[in-house]
Amino acid sequence: MSDLRPNESPADGQRGPIQPDPPELALAHRALESGDYGACLRGLAPLADAHGASTALGGRIRLLMATALMGQGDSAGAAACCRSLRGCKDLTLRQQARDLEEVLEAPALQRPRNWSVQMPSLGELELVEGRSAMGSWRRRPRPEPPPPPPVGATKTPWGFALVAVALLLLTTLLAGCVQVETSLTFPAPGRLQITQTSTSRTGQALPWQRDLAAALGGGSVVVERDHGRQSLRNRPLPAGQALTWLGQSLERGAALAGVSLPKPELDLRERNWLIGVQQQLELAIDLRAVDSLPGLDLSFQFAPLDPQAVERATPRPVQQGPGAKELHWPLEPGALNRLTWRTWRWSRLGLGALAVVLLLALALLLQRLRLRAGFGFPQLPA
């Protein structure tokens, strides 16, 4: 079936001049394309009465009506419209009407049941589900009663207790087999570099070391690992920032070890005298919540620092480090550790400025003595 358009010329024996289609036909076309078959038929009924089935325009009108009737499901009406075009003078329209009539009057084929799926209605589905649930509930066997509780004396689980104690001791020993050393290096007045080194006595990196590196690593902190040895080295920072980072690292390390420690007291006072800086450090670390475990070694190292600069170190004294001006201070677990030292650090920039001022003063003094001796100002040779 072909969809005819307005202003198409008839195909009868002799072509005549093309006549414009009535506007009602264009409106019927738009209604058919939009799916409004009722409006299409209402617009085509007056045109069908005005133009006979033998004319080309009447044939096109009736083919459109057959298409609209098929859209409404009226196959008999559509076939009647096609039969009315058997006497149409347009051969093309007559052949299209015959083909469409054969399709409409063709017998309906019986489809096997397994070609389609029939869905039951919602009411029947709920009724079937209710019956099946009732049948399953009726057929459900009663649960067997639980077995009676055991009687007799209950045996103590010594095996589990021994395993738990062994694991606890192993964890304690492995946690204590670590040496932590914090080095404070003063590269210049007002600058401080901190290096925190932890060494596992087992030769393998402990989970505590990996967690501490993940928490403090990145940014200006460089992480170095060598089997059971791990170093966290910060770049030289202003003294205040470096001590803040040291306090955070101590708190983070204690939290990862599962120990609740008070916040350490770190106080560095500096007084700049241009040619040097006077420094005073007060350090207090409360380890009374940490028990003394075998293999646990905590210490601080300061460089450069003379032993005479230390004013107080408790409960353990300060020891001479491996270098000439290095001090080693071991910490005592289970006690309050305090350290106070005061030192003077020369400033290279201040000393250089002072030397320039002294040389300039010396040059002026020599020039004054020359003038008093009567030599006058120095002159260029003639």
43-57, 78-92, 102-116, 355-369: least confident range: 102-116
Confirm if 187 and 236 have CB atoms less than 8 A apart. Answer: yes
Per-residue pLDDT reduced to its tens digit, 146-190: 665 554 454 444 444 443 333 343 343 344 467 788 887 877 777
Residue 330 contacts by C-beta under 8 Å, 6 or more apart in sequence? 297, 298, 299, 316, 319
**Which residue type, as a one-letter code, is found at position 310?**
V
User: Tokens for 374?
Assistant: 């009567």
- Provide the residue ranges of all domains of the chain, joining segments of one domain with +: 23-104, 176-349
Q: What architecture does CATH give domain 23-104? A: Alpha Horseshoe (1.25)
Using CA atoms of 38, 39, 45, 48 in order, give the dihedral in degrees to the nearest 10.
-110
The four Cα atoms 13, 16, 20, 26 give a dihedral, to 10 degrees, of 10
In degrees rounded to 5, what are phi and psi of residue 274? 70, -55
So what's the pLDDT on residue 229?
84
pLDDT in tens, 246-297: 887 877 777 777 777 788 888 888 888 878 888 888 888 888 877 765 567 7
Q: What gap in Å lies between CA 324 and CA 306, rounded to an integer?
A: 8
- pLDDT of residue 342 exceeding 80, the answer is yes
Beta carbons within 8 Å of 100's beta carbon, 6+ residues apart? 1, 63, 66, 78, 82
Nearest CA among 341, 346, 266 for reference residue 305: 341
- Find the mean pLDDT for residues 2-14: 43
- The pLDDT score that the predictor gives to residue 297 is 79
CA 58, CA 70: separation in Å to the nearest integer?
18
Helices within the chain (DSSP H only): 23-33, 37-50, 56-72, 75-83, 91-104, 122-139, 158-176, 207-216, 239-256, 348-372
Cα 262 from Cα 107, distance rounded (Å): 96
